[in-house]
Amino acid sequence: MASDDVRIGGRKIRDLPKVSLHDHLDGGLRPQTVLELADQVGLDLPASDAKGLGAWFSDHIDGGSLEDYLEKFSVTVGVMQTREGLVRTAKEFVEDLAADGVVYGEVRWAPEQHLTGGLSLDEVVDAVQEGIEEGEDAADARGQDIRVGQLLTALRHNDNARDIAELAVSWRGRGVVGFDLAGPEDGFLPSGHRAAFDYLAEQFFPATVHAGEGAGLASIRSALIDGRAPAARPRCAHRQRPGRRLARGRGGAGHFRRPGALGPRP
């Protein structure tokens, strides 16, 4: 039975209302979008058509270390360095969520990875928010009610978590609903960013922490204690499912592969 035909209580699973809390913006681009944006910015790709690009991600995303896994996303991040690219990917991200029946979503992404085109941290957040709102409006026009908030991610191997925390708080009430810590895990415990988490606690601002794949229990403990995370976000290697594309997040159960998405990102 095709996945779109699976039903619960007589209703298609795709049509049931859902909440998506762990999705990464740079892990959910449509292959055709990557091709078109790459052509605009002169970025070389490992394939010349959408089908081939999707196959490349499927073939290369599994196996190896977390660090090897993260390197693959230089392709998607590379086409998200302009305002146009950020607005478009965010808009399509929301539309794809709505098509899967999601009524509330949170999209996490690292603003510091999108500055090579000359945009500032505030400008990239503003661009993504514009795309989110355009996607919500487009979904509403099709009778699909959805609202999406941003989680701003700081990369744990860099030294600017406090800056990203302040950026997130400055956008409170304007689309940003939380802070996230992610990236290479081994050797970069959340305790190294205690100043950021202290600030977030003082501001009563929600935070999540990726933990448990690259550094084991020590990382999880630090996420819960130093990061004050109400729950650590453990990651696990995703599994291929016949007839489905890759999940946008690498967080295990509930991360379904939405049509057109290239692949996951932890």
Domain hosting 154: range is 19-233
Looking up residue 185, the CATH number of its domain turns out to be: 3.20.20.140
In a domain, 83, yes or no: yes
Quote the CA–CA distance of 181 and 208 in Å, as a whole number: 7
Number of domains in the chain: 1
Q: What percent of the chain has pLDDT over 70?
A: 80
Burial call 123-144: b when 16+ CB within 10 Å, e when fewer:
bbbbbbbbbbbbbbebbeeeeb
Residues 135-184: pLDDT tens digits?
999 999 999 999 999 999 999 999 999 999 999 999 999 999 999 999 98
Q: What does the pLDDT average to over 45-73?
A: 79
Active site residues: 213
In a domain, 123, yes or no: yes
Query: Do 255 and 238 contact (CB within 8 A), yes or no?
Result: yes
In a domain, 251, yes or no: no
In a domain, 151, yes or no: yes
In a domain, 243, yes or no: no
Higher per-residue pLDDT: 234 or 34: 34
Q: Is the pLDDT of residue 249 over 50?
A: no
State pTM to two decimals: 0.84
Query: Do 207 and 232 contact (CB within 8 A), yes or no?
Result: no
Quote the CA–CA distance of 106 and 23 in Å, as a whole number: 7
Output the pLDDT for position 12: 86
Residues 35-50: pLDDT tens digits?
999 999 999 998 999 9
Across the chain, what does the average pLDDT equal?
A: 84
Size of the chain, expressed as the number of residues it contains:
266
24-28, 142-146, 259-263: least confident range = 259-263
In a domain, 11, yes or no: no
Output the pLDDT for position 254: 26
2-11, 46-55, 89-98, 141-150: least confident range = 2-11
In a domain, 97, yes or no: yes
Quote the CA–CA distance of 114 and 230 in Å, as a whole number: 28
In a domain, 87, yes or no: yes
Output the pLDDT for position 233: 53
